Amino acid sequence: MTFSAETHPAPVVLKSIATTASTETLTQTVIAFAIFDGLLDAVEWANDGIAADEPACMWLSTLRWVRALDGSVPAGAPEPPTRWTDAHFTAVARALTPEQRTAVSEHPDTMSLRNPEMSIPSRPFGIRRGPEANYANDDAAQLALRSFVLALLPDADGSLMTRIARDAAALTHGAEGSYQYAQGVAAWANKAFWPEVHGQNDSEAGETPLELGSSLTQVTAALKNLRDPSGVVVPENDATLTALHAFAQELAARWVRATT
């Protein structure tokens, strides 16, 4: 199934997320963009008739962000091939204020990505944040933004969202409940972005059944801007959000070209 480039939600959603990021959500925002580009990488390979490992593509993309932030990949980790996103990751890293850099560098998700091996659901390496049985203590809401963005890939029966949201969550989290949370956000967002794929009208996707934590503002703004794109405004004199917006703009354009 193909979709018109003119009606694709990706440009509005990604640019809205970029321009409404805060110091608190910068880490989730850049990781969401990195993971989404990893999925894009896999889609591009598939378009060329070559099967790609989606989780590995997503992980390598997050390593590109770590390389831009820290100056190198984690010791023992593979060196990701050069990709167009390198310039954007570097631009975002250079634009960070001292406060933002501290917040991003010390964020548990960034620390989880500083691992030499890829974390997968059956072998998670994410920082343990609480009891396995209590996903709220695993800070599952940190996964909301990446699951929301991944839902820009239409999925009629939900099986694809279930799989890739789980794999994306495992890159930084270890609790089974967190994976289920990520899958729930992705399934809900997919219906919100693609109601016609799910046999719904625009009003039937409903409110999210899960708490979105610090990502609530960005998600709410993105859904609102889908109805009125004029609401996407790049804040003046904010180098970090300007760099994020440029990243979002190119990421969206490439995604639309690859999927329409």
Please report whether residue 254 resides in a domain: yes
Rg of the chain taking only CA atoms, in angstroms: 17
pLDDT at 3 over 70: no
**222 Cβ neighbours under 8 A, 6+ residues apart:** 12, 13, 16, 17, 20, 148
* Cβ 10 vs Cβ 150: under 8 Å: no
- What is the model's pLDDT at position 1? 39
Whether 4 maps to a domain, the answer reads no
State mean pLDDT over 69-89: 97
Residue 177 near residue 133, CB atoms below 8 Å: yes
Pull the structure tokens for residue 21: 């990021």
Residue 43 domain flag: yes
Q: Which tens digits make up the pLDDT trace of 100-158?
A: 999 999 999 999 999 999 999 888 776 655 555 444 446 889 999 999 999 999 999 98
Residue 221 is assigned to a structural domain of this protein: yes
- Mean of pLDDT values over 65-84: 97
Total number of domains in the chain: 1
Does 226 map to a domain? yes
CA distance 187 to 156: 10
Condensed to tens digits (0 to 9), the pLDDT of residues 213-250 reads 999 999 999 999 999 988 898 888 899 999 999 999 99
Q: What is the pTM for the complete model shown?
A: 0.92
Does residue 3 lie in a domain region? no
Structural domain includes residue 5: no
Assign 177 a pLDDT band (cuts: 50, 70, 90).
confident
What is the number of H-type helices and E-type strands within the chain?
11, 0
Does residue 216 sit within a domain?
A: yes
Neighbours of 112 (CB within 10 A): 22
pLDDT tens-digit readout, 178-215: 999 999 999 999 999 999 888 876 655 556 667 899 99
The residue range of the domain holding 168 is: 10-259
